[in-house]
Amino acid sequence: MREVLAQAAFQLFLERGFERTTVDDIVARAGVGRRSFFRYFPSKEDAVFPDHERCLAEMTEFLAAADDDDPVGAVSDAARIVLRMYAANPEFSVQRYRLTREVPGLRTYELSVVRRYEQTLAGHLRSRLGEGGDGALRAEVIAASVVAAHNNGLRLWLRSGGEGDPEVAVDHALALVREVWGRPAASAASTAPAAPAVSEASAVPFAVSGGGDGDGEVVVMVARKGTPMWRVVQQIEAAVGEN
Partner DNA sequence: AGAGACTATGGCACTCAGTACCCTCTGTAA
Partner DNA sequence: TTACAGAGGGTACTGAGTGCCATAGTCTCT
Q: Does 238 bind its own copies (CB under 8 A)?
A: no
Query: Of 21, 76, 151, 227, which lies in the binding site for DNA, with binding defined by CB under 7 A?
Result: 21
Mapping DSSP to helix (H, G, I), strand (E, B) and coil, where does residue 132 land? coil
Instruction: Compute the distance between CA of residue 216 and CA of residue 88 in angstroms, rounded to an integer.
Output: 65
Q: Does 229 bind its own copies (CB under 8 A)?
A: yes
Stretch that binds its own copies, among 13-21, 53-61, 80-88, 101-109 (CB under 8 A): 101-109
Between 35 and 225, whose beta carbon lies closer to DNA?
A: 35
List the x/- string, 107-136, binding to its own copies by CB under 8 A: xxx-xx--x------------------x-x
Q: Does 34 bind DNA (CB under 7 A)?
A: yes
Q: Does 225 bind DNA (CB under 7 A)?
A: no
Between 25 and 73, whose beta carbon lies closer to its own copies?
A: 73
- Contact indicator for 131, 156 with CB cutoff of 8 Å: no
Query: Of 1, 88, 208, 220, which lies in the binding site for DNA, with binding defined by CB under 7 A?
Result: 1
Which residue, among 180, 225, 172, has the nearest Cα to 202 in the 3D structure? 225
- Contact indicator for 143, 115 with CB cutoff of 8 Å: no
Give Cα separations from 10 to 14, 65, 146 (angstroms): 6, 35, 29
CA dihedral sign of residues 185, 65, 87, 16: negative
**Smallest distance from the beta carbon of 54 to DNA, in angstroms?**
17
> 12 φ, ψ to 5°?
-65, -35
The DSSP call for residue 188 is: T
Instruction: Compute the distance between CA of residue 52 and CA of residue 66 in angstroms, rounded to an integer.
Output: 21
Determine which helix (DSSP H) or strand (DSSP E) holds 206, and give its type and residue range: strand 206-209
Query: Of 47, 151, 154, 162, which lies in the binding site for its own copies, with binding defined by CB under 8 A?
Result: 151
List the x/- string, 164-203, binding to its own copies by CB under 8 A: ---xx--xxx-xxx-xxx------x-x-xx-xxxxx----
Q: Does 7 bind DNA (CB under 7 A)?
A: no
Stretch that binds DNA, among 40-48, 68-76, 90-98, 131-139 (CB under 7 A): 40-48
32 binds, among DNA, its own copies, none (CB under 5 to 8 A by kind): DNA
Stretch that binds DNA, among 42-50, 111-119, 163-171, 194-202 (CB under 7 A): 42-50
Give Cα separations from 135 to 81, 87, 124, 139 (angstroms): 25, 33, 11, 6
Q: Does 38 bind DNA (CB under 7 A)?
A: yes
**Smallest distance from the beta carbon of 41 to DNA, in angstroms?**
8
| N- to C-terminal Cα separation, the chain | 62
Q: Does 102 bind DNA (CB under 7 A)?
A: no
